[in-house]
């Protein structure tokens, strides 16, 4: 994995292997409930203490039932959460009123089994749209989850598997840090192996910490990290009916230290890049750094336009140094790019200078594109702002996977 472009900081983060399971007080299980034919499809996460919960969810107008019901749970005055239920195999989206009833029933089942209120359960789903949730299987699956709940990496791995759809690998990330001589952890789990936007593949991420804090602090940390990570692998991070990122932390009074914010962003970035690397049919990772922009929104808009261009993605797959497609994508988004000022850098080598002057030969550029990890810098020559986006190539396997998703 490339060194991520984090700000330099003296604060030492300790990488851990257990993902969400590395966070003290978190118990997990992942089982096969029978929503899918054979694979694990139901995850349960519980918290020993009451948790604040912050959310960033899809802005799609067809929000799935679990998004809507969980939002109600979170919106209650002083709400705290104690558990998270997530299934794969069925998105419970476009399922009408029945869909919402089924989410409430799921939360009630989990609450009864755990001895907590139904409104203290966050529910998330991913899978096929338009199919109702098989409630009886969820009920039996939850019973088995409760029996298997445990701390640690093995359980976290099972839970990570249970939320996968076309993902090839489970996605876990965790970092420990020290604050006032105490050790804390931020850990997370995610699913998402689509090319994400513009393709509406569901992205789910759950991040927790054992550092107590105020609600506003958790909310800010989640929003900032999402803008710089999950939203930079997807246009607005808001396309699917089921997209959601939930963050959990115990209730506290103190403002979190910089080390927490760093660890949180790092967990989010690791999870986001794991999704990019697991892109459906992906053979390469592309990092697009836009520099010299007027402001950050302009930089982000251009970076995401390039990352999301099918022509850029297919050229990358074919290792074709067709830089015109990159520039055409930058221009198409109408972000105020100056056609006379841009230049390109490929893997730290000057590629195309102002005025379209090629500095690398076609053969040289092709050789750079043979690498697995490609970094393209787009210098706009307009100001000082920048942004980074990450994506993958578009291969024939992407089409194969998505042409027969349900079969």
Q: Which of the following is catalytic: 58, 202, 226, 301?
A: 202
83: Cα separation from own chain's centroid: 20
Runs of H (alpha helix) within 5-133: 65-75, 96-114
Which residues is 14 bridged to in the sheet?
Answer: 176
Backbone CA torsion sign across 13, 19, 21, 23 = positive
Task: Find the part of the chain contacting its own copies (CB under 8 A) among 89-97, 103-111, 145-153, 254-262.
Answer: 89-97
Helix (H) or strand (E) holding 389: strand 385-392
Note whether 326 and 303 are within 8 A (CB). no
Q: Looking at beta carbons only, is 143 or 358 nearer to its own copies?
A: 358
Q: Supply the minimum distance, in Å, between the C-beta of residue 96 and its own copies.
A: 4
- CA-nearest of 404, 390, 396, 200 to 314 is 396
State yes or no: residue 155 binds its own copies (CB under 8 A): no
Q: Supply the minimum distance, in Å, between the C-beta of residue 231 and its own copies.
A: 14
Peptide bond into 198 cis (omega under 30): yes
Near its own copies in 342-401, by CB under 8 A: 352, 354-358, 394-396, 398-400
Among 110, 142, 159, 195, indicate the residue that binds its own copies (CB under 8 A): 195
Q: Looking at beta carbons only, is 252 or 331 nearer to its own copies?
A: 331
Near its own copies in 333-352, by CB under 8 A: 334-340, 352
Q: Residue holding tokens 């660890």?
A: 263
Q: Half-sphere exposure of 386 toward its Cβ, with a 13 Å CA cutoff?
A: 12
State yes or no: residue 91 binds its own copies (CB under 8 A): yes
State yes or no: residue 322 binds its own copies (CB under 8 A): yes
Near its own copies in 97-116, by CB under 8 A: 97-99
Q: Is 229 a catalytic residue?
A: no
Structure tokens at 331: 């221009």
State yes or no: residue 118 binds its own copies (CB under 8 A): no
Among 230, 260, 317, 390, indicate the residue that binds its own copies (CB under 8 A): 317
- CA-nearest of 387, 372, 279, 392 to 333 is 387
- CA-nearest of 204, 189, 221, 375 to 287 is 375
Which residues is 178 bridged to in the sheet?
Answer: 183
State yes or no: residue 182 binds its own copies (CB under 8 A): no
State yes or no: residue 37 binds its own copies (CB under 8 A): no
Which residues is 367 bridged to in the sheet?
Answer: none
State yes or no: residue 297 binds its own copies (CB under 8 A): no
Q: Looking at beta carbons only, is 227 or 320 nearer to its own copies?
A: 320
State yes or no: residue 166 binds its own copies (CB under 8 A): no
Where does this chain bind its own copies (CB under 8 A)? 59-63, 91, 93-99, 128-130, 195, 198-201, 238-241, 308-311, 314-315, 317-318, 320, 322-325, 327-332, 334-340, 352, 354-358, 394-396, 398-400, 402-407
Report, as residue numbers or ranges, the catalytic residues: 202
């Amino acid at each position: 994995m490339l060194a991520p472009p984090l700000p330099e900081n003296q604060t030492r983060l300790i990488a851990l292997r257990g993902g969400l399971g590395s966070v003290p007080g978190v118990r997990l299980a992942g089982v096969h409930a029978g929503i899918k034919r054979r694979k694990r499809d139901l995850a349960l996460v519980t918290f020993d203490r009451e948790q604040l919960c912050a959310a960033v969810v899809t802005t799609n107008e067809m929000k799935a039932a679990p998004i809507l019901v969980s939002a109600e749970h979170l919106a209650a005055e002083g709400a705290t959460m104690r558990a998270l239920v997530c299934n794969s195999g069925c998105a419970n989206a476009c399922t009408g009123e029945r869909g919402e009833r089924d989410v409430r029933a799921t939360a009630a089942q989990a609450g009864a089994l755990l001895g907590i209120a139904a409104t203290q359960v966050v529910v998330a789903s991913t899978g096929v749209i338009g199919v109702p949730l098989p409630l009886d299987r969820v009920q039996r699956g939850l019973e088995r989850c409760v029996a298997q709940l445990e701390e640690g990496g093995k359980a976290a791995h099972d839970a990570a598997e249970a939320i996968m759809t076309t993902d090839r690998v489970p996605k876990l990330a965790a970092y420990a840090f020290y604050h006032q001589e105490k050790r804390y952890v931020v850990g997370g789990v995610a699913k998402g192996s689509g090319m994400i936007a513009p393709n509406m593949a569901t992205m789910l991420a759950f991040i927790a910490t054992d550092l107590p804090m105020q609600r506003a602090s958790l909310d800010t940390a989640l929003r900032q990290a999402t803008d710089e990570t999950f939203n930079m692998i997807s246009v607005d991070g808001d396309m699917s009916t089921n997209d959601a990122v939930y963050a959990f932390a115990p209730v506290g009074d103190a403002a979190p230290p910089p080390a927490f914010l760093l660890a949180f962003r790092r967990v989010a970035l690791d999870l986001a890049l794991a999704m990019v690397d697991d892109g459906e049919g992906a053979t390469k990772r592309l990092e697009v750094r836009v520099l010299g922009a007027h402001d950050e929104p302009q930089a982000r808009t251009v970076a995401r336009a390039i990352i999301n261009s099918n022509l850029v993605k297919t050229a990358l797959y074919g290792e074709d140094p067709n830089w015109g497609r990159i520039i055409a994508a930058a221009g198409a988004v109408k972000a105020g790019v100056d056609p006379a000022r841009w230049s390109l850098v490929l893997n730290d080598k000057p590629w195309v200078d102002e005025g379209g002057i090629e500095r690398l030969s076609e053969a040289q550029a092709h050789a750079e594109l043979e690498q697995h990890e490609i970094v393209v810098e787009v210098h706009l020559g307009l100001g000082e702002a920048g942004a980074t986006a990450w994506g993958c190539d578009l291969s024939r396997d992407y089409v194969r996977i998505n042409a027969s998703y349900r079969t």
